[in-house]
Amino acid sequence: MPEENPARNSHRLMEIGVPLLSFGGAAFAVIFWITGATIDFRISILGCVLGSWVLAYLAWIRPKKDIVALTTPIYSFIFLAVPTDNLSAVVLELLYAVSLTILLVRLKYRFGRPGTALSDRKELAEPLRTYVEKTRDLWTGTSPEAAHHATVAFVRFAEGEYGEAAQRSTTAAGQPDDAGQASPLARAFMIVSEHATLVDQSLPRPAPYRTFLPEDSGMLAIPLPPAQDDDAGFYAALDNALLLLFSAAWNNSGEDRPHLLAVQSFAQKLLNP
């Protein structure tokens, strides 16, 4: 998105700034030492200090926090507070600059990109947003009451309140459509009800277990595994059912959206097995 580019550019500049500031400060320390300049060596330490604060900021703005990078400013304070001789200061700065650079690389590759944490977002993140928009047309004719049941069932399941999720899903599932057939949404409710009951009461997996019909496959977020893989099929049915409930709730119950946003991370986790 265009409005993200200035932010991304500034983050990139900050990433370059970490080694630039820390090695730059170390370079000044070497110059002072070689030339025998009679100024306070700790001025050169400021480069490492600033570099560590920039690194800590880059760690802070990531949804997944790196506690090591976040605490580097504390170590930089030690460098300012503890007086030392010139040679030790130069060596210390060079080693600190190297470690800040290594931490920066680690931050980039292990802790993802900067961004808002899912729980703080005011809208759906990808790929959930694409799935919800793709399935929007499926829910024409779905009552707001059913959508609200879907919200409650999903949120309760996400919160680990399996008994309540099972109860709500069972109530919502027992409402066939005008042709007397169970709709895909009803099937989703039945699957969630079954799984929630099994977990809540520590029951073994039933054989056979509830699953979707072949004609439902177009609306499922996760492709169904081969029939021989019973385990994967069992869990995929639940994931698909929960995601269908989320989509139905989001598209048909606008006032429930804040509750769905609060548990968005769980829905994202289901989409990324």
Partner 1 sequence: MKIGSIEVKISVIAIAVVVVLTLILIITVVYTGDSRLLIWGIPTLVMLLLIPVALNYLSQRQYGELEPVYRSRAKNTRIRMINESMIGQVVRVEGVVERVYFQFLNRPQYLVADRSGEISVKMFTNPTETVKKGDIVEVLGTIINRYIVTGDPVINCVSIRKIKKA
Instruction: Please count the residues of this chain forming the interface with partner 1, following the rule CB under 8 A.
Output: 22
Judged by CB under 8 A, which of 46, 224, 262, 271 binds partner 1? 262
Contact status: 160 vs partner 1 (CB under 8 A): yes
Instruction: For tokens 């970490």, name the residue.
Output: 18
- How far is 97 from 52, CA to CA, in rounded Å? 9
Count of beta carbons in the 10 Å neighbourhood of residue 268: 15
Smallest distance from partner 1 to CB 262, Å: 7
Smallest distance from partner 1 to CB 243, Å: 14
- How far is 108 from 93, CA to CA, in rounded Å? 23
Contact status: 185 vs partner 1 (CB under 8 A): no
User: Is residue 11 helix, strand or coil?
Assistant: helix
Q: Which amino acid is at 240?
A: N
Q: Which stretch binds partner 1 (CB under 8 A): 11-19, 77-85, 132-140, 197-205?
A: 197-205
Q: What is the secondary structure of 227-252 as a DSSP string?
A: TT-HHHHHHHHHHHHHHHHHHHHHHH
Contact status: 131 vs partner 1 (CB under 8 A): no
Contact status: 127 vs partner 1 (CB under 8 A): no
Whether the CA torsion 232, 233, 238, 244 is positive or negative: it is positive
Contact status: 85 vs partner 1 (CB under 8 A): no
| C-alpha of 178 from chain center | 40
Judged by CB under 8 A, which of 61, 121, 265, 271 binds partner 1? 265
Contact status: 255 vs partner 1 (CB under 8 A): no
- Measured CA distances, 123 to 35, 69, 118, 221, 269 (Å): 58, 29, 9, 19, 16
Judged by CB under 8 A, which of 20, 182, 199, 271 binds partner 1? 199
Judged by CB under 8 A, which of 152, 158, 185, 261 binds partner 1? 158
Do 166 and 149 form a contact (C-beta atoms < 8 A)?
no
Contact status: 155 vs partner 1 (CB under 8 A): yes
Contact status: 230 vs partner 1 (CB under 8 A): no
Judged by CB under 8 A, which of 9, 10, 116, 119 binds partner 1? 119
Q: Which residues bind partner 1 (CB under 8 A)?
A: 64-65, 67, 119, 155, 157-162, 199-202, 231, 235, 262-263, 265-266, 269
